[in-house]
Structure 1
Amino acid sequence: MARSGMTIRNPEELTRVLLQLPAAVSESALRQASAAGARIVLEEARLRAPVGTKRYIRKGKPHIPGLLKREGILMFYREEDSLTGVRSTYGITWSKDAFYGRFVEHGTSRMPAQPHLRPAYDARRTAAAEAVAAVIQEKVREATR
């Protein structure tokens, strides 16, 4: 058995802090942290979304340019990819009204791709990771007070 030169001066305080940590890493805290990171990528994707040049009518409803940028990109909780208390996953996709977002992102046989989701992720993934870490650190601080 290895010997350690570490001495714990206040074991009661250490025990108290360790008992409070599960609250800091609860499902709620995990979701808040991952949502904070996803929100940063979502905002960047909305900034990068291209805006069309003409109005069109679909199913009798007029659509004005800019729908994809204004309200066509959504953030959602991916329950099937999440593991309670271990991993919380959010996705970013297009709304039903902006179904054409996938064609804009990936292109078609007649239209070149105008990517905005992947470049948004690439540009802001470090900031998203920092936001996740900041929320987790705040939850740990709150739990250990």
Structure 2
Amino acid sequence: MAYQRPEDLIRAIFDDLVDVKRKAILQAAERARSEVLEIFKTEGRSHDVRWQDLNEGYLRAKIKQGFSEKKLHKTTTLKQSISTAHKGDFAIVGTPVFYGLFHEEGTNKIPARPFMKPAFESMQAKTEKIVAAILRES
């Protein structure tokens, strides 16, 4: 496409960059969500995170009540709540479940079993590749 004025070319380049940025944000957020879910599935092992074993008494009671023996899977509410939201220049990946932070950071009674931080640390290295792939497609 031929541009009659330099400002038309600049506007087209700017619009393309805005589109690339939007696509990169959305793809990175969805990829981060997928990584968080993978961490749940593997109980941290997919990201070299060692989740502490469940207390034996708690584990027995949990199984007796018919719940999964997996860590952070008692009702699956936390895992199912992991979602993305986006607006403008940013996206959020997280959970509205209030006790998610207790599991992520740990408390004096609950050991830390991080699921968000390892995913985002992993995504820092992958974001550049996401942007490069989008630029190749454009």
The TM-score range, normalised by the shorter chain, is 0.5 to 0.7
Q: How many Å apart are 1:134 and its aligned residue?
A: 2.3
Post-superposition Cα deviations, 1:53-91, rounded to whole Å, max 9, x if no partner, equal 6479xxxxxx9533323x2211122x5xxxx6xxx2212
TM-score (structure 1 length as normaliser)? 0.58
Post-superposition Cα deviations, 1:13-46, rounded to whole Å, max 9, x if no partner, equal 9x575452122023x5422221111211111111
- Matched with 1:116 is 115
**AA partner of residue 93 (structure 1):** G
- Matched with 1:24 is 16
**Structure 1 alignment gaps of length 5 or more:** 1-10, 57-62
- Asked if 1:100 is matched to 2:107, the reply is no
- Matched with 2:27 is 36
**Structure 2 alignment gaps of length 5 or more:** 44-53, 67-72
Q: Which has the larger radius of gyration?
A: 1
Question: Is this contact kept in 1: 2:85–2:91, CA < 8 A?
Answer: yes
**AA partner of residue 114 (structure 1):** R
Q: How many Å apart are 1:114 and its aligned residue?
A: 0.3
Q: Which stretches of structure 1, 4 residues or more, deviate above 4 A after TM superposition? A: 15-19
SS in 2 for 1:35: helix
SS in 1 for 2:107: coil
Greater RCO structure (CA 8 Å; 6+ sep): 1
In structure 1, distance between residues paired with 2:110 and 2:74: 20
In structure 1, distance between residues paired with 2:13 and 2:113: 45
In structure 2, distance between residues paired with 1:101 and 1:115: 9
- Identity across the alignment (%): 23
In structure 2, distance between residues paired with 1:38 and 1:129: 13
In structure 2, distance between residues paired with 1:112 and 1:127: 29
Residue 105 and residue 24 in structure 1: after superposition, are their counterparts in 2 closer, same or farther (change >3 A)? same
**AA partner of residue 111 (structure 1):** I
- Asked if 1:45 is matched to 2:54, the reply is no
- Matched with 2:90 is 89
